[in-house]
Amino acid sequence: AKLHLRPDGILQQWFPMGSRDPAIVASVARALNESFPYVRVFRSIEGWGYHFLASTSPLPPVSAAVLASHLPPAATADLLEWGPATTAEQQFAAVLNQELALDSLIQQAPGVPALQDDRPVNEYYLLRRVQDAEYRRRWWQHFLDRVGIKS
């Protein structure tokens, strides 16, 4: 993606958090950190993931009011369709107020390599889970509870 950006271009990537696996998030954050000198990350509204902005040029802070003022009416309607805010400025502020340090995501799993085509960390989720003794214990207990067997 970096090769296709103009010098002042910005990559925007929303990363949904269905799995809540810190290794996957850390690998994505590390990949962006290794590929771009400027990266900002924001927790998504209602905690449904992360919004990454990455560039080879600085990414200065921009206010919610300025961002909202650049939206055409159709984009504003689309932005507000699912809420929770009632104005574009409030919706942008809800995300901008949740900026995180990129390193805080990387440090959740510091030994995990950057996500690459030949190192697809996100594809080994199940393998990591079954190697985790605590996960296996919780899964087994859940299974026993579901089938009505007391442990």
Q: pLDDT digits over 60-84, tens only?
A: 999 999 999 999 999 999 999 988 9
Residue with tokens 């209602």: 46
Percent of the chain with pLDDT over 90: 53
Instruction: Assign 128 a pLDDT band (cuts: 50, 70, 90).
Output: low
Burial class (CB in 10 A: 0-12, 13-18, 19+), 57: middle
Closest CA relative to residue 105, chosen from 2, 33, 13? 33
Kindly report the pTM of this predicted structure.
Answer: 0.74
Domain boundaries, the chain: 2-119, 120-151
How far apart are the two ends of the chain, measured CA to CA in Å? 51
Q: Are the beta carbons of 140 and 35 closer than 8 angstroms?
A: no
